[in-house]
Structures are given as C-alpha cells and as structure tokens.
Structure 1
Amino acid sequence: MTDPTSATPADPRPDDHVIVLFGATGDLARRKLLPGLFHLTRAGLMPEHFRVVGSAPAADALSDEEFRAHARAAVDEFGRSEPRGEAWEAFEAALSFGSADPDDPQPLLAAVEAAEQELGGGPRRLFHLAVPPVAFASVVRLLGDTQLAEHARVIVEKPFGTDLPSAQELNATIHAVFDESKIFRIDHFLGKESVDNILALRFANGLFEPVWNRQHISHVQIDVPEQIGIEGRSRFFEGTGTFRDMIVTHLFQLMGFVAMEPPAALEAHALRDEKERVFQSLRPLDPAQVVRGQYTGYRDEPGVDPHSDTETFAALRVELDNWRWAGVPFFLRSGKSLAQGRHVVTLGFREPVLRMFPVDAHHAVGLRSNQLVIDFADPGGVTSRFLTKEPGPLMRLEEAEMVFRYAGCYNERHALEGYERLILDAMLGDQSLFTRSDGIENLWAAATPLLEQPPPVEPYAPGSWGPDRIGQLIAPYRWSLPDRH
C-alpha cells in the first residue's frame, strides 16, 4: 500500500547526501531536526541514498546505537509519525555519530568518511549548525581546517549576530570558509506554507497586487505574541532579549516578504534581491517609537539578574523609505507570557468615505473591518474583513468575514513544517527563503539607534497583551489582536 505522505512524481528530490548535525544531542535536534528528517524520509523527499551523522563535543559523545535510541525517543515524543515500520528502519540505519572538538575532530572525520564510503559516488555534504552562537566560529573553523567544507553547504541557526559589528564579524568568519552561495541562514518562520501563500496571494491574483501599496493600505501589523515564558532559557535570553531574538530574525524577515516588489521570477536570486531592497529602505529605528516591556516576575526567574533591563516584549513602529510604502507605518509586536500565541500579519486598508450612509449606520465604523489578515499558525489561513448591511429595514453597517483555511482544504499530510521545508531546500540548493549577509547587516545597521539608546522596560502582567503604552504607539489605529473587544 502506498504511503499517503509519499512524494508525487513532480516533487523535487535532492542528490545523495551526508548530513552532519552539530548539536545533535541538543534541544533543537530533539524537538525539530530529527523528527523533521524522519518525516522527510517517510514522505519520500529525502535523497534516494543518505546518511545522517550526529555530532557533539566529546564530553557529550554517543555511540551509534545510543544516537539511534536518542533519535527514536525524539521522534516518538515530537514526531508526527511513530518510529515504526520500514521507513523507520531505513532512517535508523542511516544514523551514525562522530564527536568533534577543535583539537580532536578525528571521530567526526572518521564518521563522515565511513558514511560517504557506504553511499559511494561522491555524495553532497550538508552541515547544520544547531549549536549556540558562541560556538559558530569554532565549528566553521573546524570545517575549514579539516577540508570538510569543500564543496559543502552549511545551515546556520539564528541569531545572526547581536548588533552590526558582531554580524559583520560572523559573516567574515563564515565567508572565510564558505562562499555566500553555500550559506543557508535559517529562519523556520519562513518555511511556513503561509510565506509562500503571501507570494501566491499577491502575485497570482489581480484582486490584490494593484491595491498592495500606500494608496490603498493605511498600515501593516506583524504580530507574533507567545504565551510561553522564557522556559528556563535565562542564560540565552538575558544576553539576547525579544528584539534580537524575535524582531530582527523573524518579524523583519516576514516584513521583507510582505513589502517586497514583484520579483522577475519566483527563483532564489530574484526573490532575495527584492527582499534585500526592502531592508535597504528601512529607516533607522527611532527609540521614541519603540515600547520595551518586561513581564512581572521575570526578574524572579532562576538565572535572571534581579535588576535586569532585558525586554521580554517589544513593539515598534517602523517605516520604509520607498515608493510603494512611503508614509505607511509597519507595527511589529512580539513578547513572552502574553494572552495568546499567534502568528498574524494584518493589512489595514484605508477607510472609504462613509458620509453617504445615515448616521445610525456608523455604529459599526471602528470595528476591525477593511482588513486582510494572514494567519501564520500551522496550517494557517487568510481572512478578509469588511462591512455589510445588517439585515432589516434600516441601513446599518455590520462587520463580516470571508475566511480561507488550509485545514480541511488540502491533504495536510503532504504539508511540511518550517524546518522540514527549509532543510529540503538546503539540500536542493534553493536559497529563496534564506537571508543573505547584506540583508542581515542592513537590518542591524537600521537597529543601531535603538541598541545604543534603548528606552527603559515597562512592566506588564503575564497573560496581558503587553504594556499599556502600546495603544499610544499604534494610534490612531488599533492592534488587530485580540480578535474581538
């Protein structure tokens, strides 16, 4: 019987690969990478022949059998399919482990060599750096010193620096070993189906592209609140904060796709060129147009400085200095311990003249109408909000919605999660959804005024929507979330 998740003849399939997971014993590999690689295997989207080599410092080294047991537990807990049957047996057989320290890379070299000999025929190499940012440079240098980097590609996890100088230094370190065409800076948000759906919605429909500009759109919101707190990650979060962790690496990237000009073709070079032009047009951030918040109780978290000024919430108004978006504010918001966990982009359309309607009809004006809402939650959807006449003898306006949801519209078992889609793209060499070095540096350059003079954090209650002042920040508009009053 055919696996319902198996690839169709039109699905792309990469060349044979040896994939090396640095940080294979860490949380990211356990929650996302190992389950994702198994799902790609079960869907028939992995190379016909492949090997996955896990790696970690010698202090965390595993045997091949221990790594297979670790992978089985990860897939069992976080995977969408149980680690059973022929697909699991094939995946498990492809796993091996090789530890690596800067002064002793030999176990990794031996594991990669053994994997390549098993495959034969000169397979491609793909390295995934699922390690803390402080380890990026040493891992990249190890790959260069051992010649493992030759003819290979590398996936680099966020954050891509913490300011302009650190981003430039990181880029220089990676470029000393890898050409830009071989570097895949991964942001799992951009692997969501809804990112591609922005491109389809805009450029495949004459209904939307003609009005996707400053003449018709009054403002844009990109809202990614999170219900969870810092989840025991105080060491990471204290050195990063929400602006660096979420705004620069996620929300600005989404803004690039929302705001880009039509590319000449839906291919990597053209798409990345247009997205980077958006980042070039980003005006330097004004600290007066930023609200930094910290949820009550954050300073009591284990490992947090009792006088910490780290923000767990950030909301900001930004502007793009180009023809399409001049004068249109973009409002970005993200934070921890908020009322809901959502991934939403809202385009607010300019209100038409309503004086033709009787005064009594205006009771609905000011509701969340004249909006197009793109929901990035898996599987996501698109909602159009508009005003209609309320049934009855009087002309009274009422809000209505038209909703498209991925759920139930397609066979969702064919859908890939963000990491799965992006790992597949990296194996195929498709950089469309990955960020270039100049784009990252442009974003950090625009952020410099805020990083140099951050406003003080303002308290907010866990379970709220953030500090009270966010209403003043977005005035005269209102936040799309919460969905209802």
Structure 2
Amino acid sequence: MVQPAQSPEPDRSPGPARSSEPARPSDVPADHVVVLFGATGDLARRKLLPGLFHLARAGLMPRRYRIVGSAPAAEALTDQEFRTHAQQAVAEFGRSRPEGPAWEAFAAGLSFGAADTGAAEPLMAAVREAETALGGTPRRLFHLAVPPVAFTSVIDLLGATGLAADGKVIVEKPFGTDLASARALNAAIHAVFDEARVFRIDHFLGKEAVDNVLALRFANGLFEPLWNRDHISHVQIDVPEHIDIQGRARFFEGTGTFRDMVVTHLFQLLGFIAMEPPVALEAGPLRDEQVKVFHSMRALDPAHVVRGQYGGYRDEQGVDPASDTETFVALRVAIDNWRWSGVPFQLRTGKALAEGRHMVTLGLREPVLRMFPLETRAAAEGRSNELVIDFDDPGSITARFLVKEPGPSMRLADGDMLFNYRTAFSAQNFLEGYEHLLLEAMRGNQSLFTRSDGVERLWEVAAPLLDAPPAVRPYAPGSWGPDGIDGLVAPYRWHLPDRRDATP
C-alpha cells in the first residue's frame, strides 16, 4: 500500500523557493484529504500542483495528507499517471524542483479517482482509501478547478455522494456573471455547504502585498491618520496586462474584462483599501468591513466607464466579427461614507496593453498654502505626493514626496522612499497567491476569501453597466488603452511609475 504523505522537515538546501525556518505549529493545518476537481486542467498544472508541492517543501502542509486528483472518466488517469503528470507540472511551473526525498514523499500521497454525474464510485473509493491510509479523522477540502458551467454539477455530486459532509469547498471565479446567476450559484452551493465552509478564491487577495495593505494602515500611526478624504484626493487601482487573450476566445467572448477582472479582482482589492478598521484581524470582522464598503459603493454610472477592444481582437479564432466584448475597461467608482465621500476611485485594466503591472496609487492632497514653485517632473505630469503600492509578487511600497535640491536656490526635486520585499526579506519565505490561499483554506481561515453577500452586492452595483454598456472603443495593442480615458479621471492623471522605480 502507498504510504500517506507526511510533511518533511523544511528543506534548507540552496535555492530561492525554499523556506529558511521551520513552520510554526500554528501555521500547519490539521490532517487533510485534498480533492482537486479538474486535476488534469490548466489551473491545476500551472498553479495548484506546483503550489501544493511548494507548501510541502516549506513544511506548511499538514503533518499527514493525501491529494486526490479527479476529472471526468474520459480524462481518467491511473495513480502513477497522475504522479507523472504532477511531476511534469512542477518541473515546468514550480519554484521547487520535483526531485529527492521531498518529491518522493509528496508523490506518495497522490492518487486519482474519476467522477461523472451518477458515476462517482472511483472518486469515492480513492477518498476512502486516502482517509484509511491517514487514519484518524482527516478533514476534506474540495477545490473546484473546473469551468464555471460545471460548478453546480460538481457541487450536486458532492452532496449526492455524501462526500461533502463536514468538508470545505474552494470555488474559483467567476462567481456568476450578473446578480441573478450569482444568486443561483450561491443557492446551489448553500444547498450542500453552509457559508462557513465555502472559500471563494481570488488569487489577488493571496498576494503578500495585499496583506501588507492591512499592516501598512493599521500597524502604523504614520499612515492611518492620513487614510481618509481629508488627506487623500484620489485612489487608482491599475492592473494593465501585456498579454492578449491567448487563444481563450470561447471564455472571453462570454465574459469580458469587466466580469473577469473588475468584479472578481479589482473591487475586492478596493474593499481592502477602503475598509474601516476591523475590531480584530479575523475573518468575521475583516469581511464585515469589506462588505460595508461594497454597500457604500454607488451603482456604476455607464457615463463614468470607458470600454475598449484592442485591434485584432475580432480576428481571433472563435470571436464574433462584430463582437462588442471589451478587452479593456476604465471606470470611476464613488463610495458614499464618512471616510471617502468625494474621493474618486479610478480603476483600469485590460489586455494587450503597454506592460503588465499591479499598482495602487493613493494621491495625497497638496498643502493649503503653496509656498514653493513646482517645476518638478511630477508637477509637470499633474502628480502630487503619493503612496504607491506595487502588489505584484513580491511587491513594494513607495512614498513620493518633494525635497530641496542642493544649492543656493530653493528649488524642489522629486524624492522617493522605497520599501521592497525582494531586498528586505529573503525570497524563500514568500508564498505566491494560490499557495497562501490554499494554506488558509486548509487552516479554515476565510479572511482572504469573498463572502456570498459581498459577491451579490457587487453584481447589484454593476447592474446599470451590464444593462447599458457603452460601446467599445478601439485601441492599439501595446498602448495604454483607448482615447477618452484621460477625461474620465480629470483633473487627475493616470499614473504608473517607471519600471525602474520599483526595481532595486
């Protein structure tokens, strides 16, 4: 019999992806059987299998665990074929090499069980075997790395077979495509899993720099007093992507950038930036404050939205030649509460843009009395003091301010104070977004996962735009988007710092 996988001692051999210190007992989850639906798919190959192995190398997997892959019977693998598939995935996309005792221990815990509606016995047998091998009462975690159209059928299968009993489920985005579909999906999930066992995953919220937004605000008296309308003039959340749709026309034509990126990523990040201080850094209080932000958001005004489509999109195979699907969206969001009234939140994201970035910029108001002539580069670009958060992995924080140039004249120059995760901490301690969230799901911590009422509120906010979207405007691949986006944020300007500003 294959022995259950047991987390090895943290690997201290050289390399950028290895943990440098043992995991604390509080970090290590209880014993688990993790079931990956869609185990032969792209998400599992690129993120989930490499991420789980990296957690094992870092000593952050449960002391005893098994991972059961699943897919429809037409894609069934033997246990050994699944181990080979996982090894190839880790070799291609992982940060830790699939070799040595660490890999052997991880691979020993892999098995496979196919499942179709009404024919789930292979999966049930694989789960039973895994639990018997572990002994005791291991917990179950199901990850639905499947297309959205399959969510309900997999949930129904887990309920009908009894596998869902006392288990937890990770649901991938999109969480519906409008308010009605989100409500229907939540109803289907809640028929089998209560909300306390549902983990709607958004890998943006697993990034170290997103957690650091909470630390930056609530652990530092330097910043929290400034985090309001009296001191902040505007907030920008900018997530341009250099890549195009990469052949995913079937998915993208039915989704578009707004549904794919804004509702499920940028709005969630906005909730963390704009929330009130929670009474505790725990799932309940944190998500309560995030959902309060969503309820304070005004319904989107289509007049404050620019939709774009890059040149050549309609030539992609599978795209309607007359498609009005947006590959770019920029919008202005208003939050009606005491902290943020009158402060515009400006969001931009899209495909085939000049470069890929993940930035939040908080523009600080100018002093009431301007005593100094402003002839700096920042002044010429319409910028003032700023706090810039780069939440790409591993991320950085830059404070931008004005200083006096050396010399006899009172002339100002732009100055930066930079905190960079890559140089401040050892890179081997970082967890990527999926790794972090997989760990938190096993630990049962919902702090960084979205809640059903928050999801439904965001679709409610989005309804006016979905009902009457402005026509898409063309833009050239490699540009920053269509004409008209500057007027959307006037009197402010879109701002991305130069790449060199965030690089040591």
Same fold, TM exceeding 0.5?
A: yes
- Is the partner of 2:448 in helix, strand or coil? coil
Q: Counterparts of 2:453 and 2:38 in 1: how far apart (Å)?
A: 27
Considering only aligned residues, what root-mean-square deviation do their CA atoms show, in Å? 1.5
Specify the alignment match of 2:186 in structure 1: 171
1:253 to 257, 268, 286: 268
- Is the partner of 1:249 in helix, strand or coil? helix
1:242 to 257, 264, 276: 257
1:162-204 Cα offsets, whole Å, 9 max, x none, are 0000000000000000000000000000000011100000000
Specify the alignment match of 2:47 in structure 1: 32
Query: 1:8 Cα shift?
Result: 3.1
Query: 1:468 Cα shift?
Result: 1.5
Specify the alignment match of 1:373 in structure 2: 388
1:361-404 Cα offsets, whole Å, 9 max, x none, are 57763443300000011110000011111222222221111100
Specify the alignment match of 1:278 in structure 2: 293
Structure 1 residues 11 and 414, CA gap change in structure 2 (3 angstroms): farther
Q: Counterparts of 1:134 and 1:189 in 2: how far apart (Å)?
A: 23
Specify the alignment match of 1:422 in structure 2: 437
Specify the alignment match of 2:6 in structure 1: none
- Is the partner of 1:128 in helix, strand or coil? strand
Q: Counterparts of 2:227 and 2:10 in 1: how far apart (Å)?
A: 43
Q: Counterparts of 1:326 and 1:2 in 2: how far apart (Å)?
A: 48
Q: Does 1:196 align with 2:208?
A: no
**Contact 2:217-2:224 within 8 A present in 1 as well:** yes
After TM superposition, list the pairs within 5 Å mapping 1:88-237 onto structure 2.
Answer: 88-237=103-252
Q: Counterparts of 1:360 and 1:42 in 2: how far apart (Å)?
A: 53
The AA in structure 2 aligned to 1:332 is L
Specify the alignment match of 2:280 in structure 1: 265
The AA in structure 2 aligned to 1:464 is S
Specify the alignment match of 1:342 in structure 2: 357
Specify the alignment match of 2:11 in structure 1: 3
After TM superposition, list the pairs within 5 Å mapping 1:78-97 onto structure 2.
Answer: 78-97=93-112
Q: Counterparts of 1:293 and 1:8 in 2: how far apart (Å)?
A: 46
1:230-269 Cα offsets, whole Å, 9 max, x none, are 0111100000000000000000000000000000011111
Specify the alignment match of 2:415 in structure 1: 400
Q: Counterparts of 2:47 and 2:493 in 1: how far apart (Å)?
A: 35
Q: Counterparts of 2:378 and 2:72 in 1: how far apart (Å)?
A: 61
Q: Counterparts of 1:177 and 1:363 in 2: how far apart (Å)?
A: 58
Q: Counterparts of 2:100 and 2:287 in 1: how far apart (Å)?
A: 40
Number of equivalences: 484
Q: Counterparts of 2:26 and 2:387 in 1: how far apart (Å)?
A: 31
Return 472-481 or 447-456, whichever deviates more.
472-481
Structure 1 residues 58 and 2, CA gap change in structure 2 (3 angstroms): closer
Query: 1:483 Cα shift?
Result: 3.5
1:384-435 Cα offsets, whole Å, 9 max, x none, are 0111112222222211111000012111111110001101100000000001
**Contact 1:227-1:339 within 8 A present in 2 as well:** yes
- Is the partner of 1:304 in helix, strand or coil? coil
**Contact 1:364-1:397 within 8 A present in 2 as well:** no
Specify the alignment match of 2:340 in structure 1: 325
Specify the alignment match of 1:74 in structure 2: 89
1:206-235 Cα offsets, whole Å, 9 max, x none, are 000001000100000000000000011110
Q: Counterparts of 2:321 and 2:207 in 1: how far apart (Å)?
A: 37
The AA in structure 2 aligned to 1:396 is R
- Is the partner of 1:408 in helix, strand or coil? helix
1:459 to 462, 474, 477: 474
Structure 1 residues 364 and 244, CA gap change in structure 2 (3 angstroms): closer
The AA in structure 2 aligned to 1:409 is A
Structure 1 gap segments, 5+ residues each: none
Structure 1 residues 374 and 364, CA gap change in structure 2 (3 angstroms): closer
Specify the alignment match of 2:5 in structure 1: none
- Is the partner of 1:167 in helix, strand or coil? helix
Structure 1 residues 230 and 261, CA gap change in structure 2 (3 angstroms): same
The AA in structure 2 aligned to 1:63 is T
Q: Counterparts of 1:2 and 1:131 in 2: how far apart (Å)?
A: 31
Structure 2 gap segments, 5+ residues each: 1-8, 13-18
**Contact 1:35-1:80 within 8 A present in 2 as well:** yes
Query: 1:353 Cα shift?
Result: 3.5
The AA in structure 2 aligned to 1:242 is T
1:388 to 403, 406, 411: 403
Q: Does 1:413 align with 2:428?
A: yes
**Contact 1:369-1:399 within 8 A present in 2 as well:** no
Q: TM-score, normalised by structure 1?
A: 0.98
Amino-acid identity (%):
70
Return 444-453 or 401-410, whichever deviates more.
401-410
Structure 1 residues 2 and 166, CA gap change in structure 2 (3 angstroms): closer
Query: 1:355 Cα shift?
Result: 3.6
**Contact 2:10-2:57 within 8 A present in 1 as well:** no
**Contact 1:363-1:396 within 8 A present in 2 as well:** no
Q: Counterparts of 1:190 and 1:273 in 2: how far apart (Å)?
A: 16
Structure 1 residues 28 and 363, CA gap change in structure 2 (3 angstroms): closer
Q: Counterparts of 1:237 and 1:428 in 2: how far apart (Å)?
A: 33
Q: Counterparts of 1:40 and 1:132 in 2: how far apart (Å)?
A: 25
Return 9-18 or 207-216, whichever deviates more.
9-18
**Contact 1:188-1:418 within 8 A present in 2 as well:** yes
**Contact 1:98-1:108 within 8 A present in 2 as well:** yes
Q: Counterparts of 2:210 and 2:159 in 1: how far apart (Å)?
A: 34
**Contact 2:440-2:446 within 8 A present in 1 as well:** yes
1:293 to 290, 302, 308: 308
- Is the partner of 1:202 in helix, strand or coil? helix
The AA in structure 1 aligned to 2:379 is V
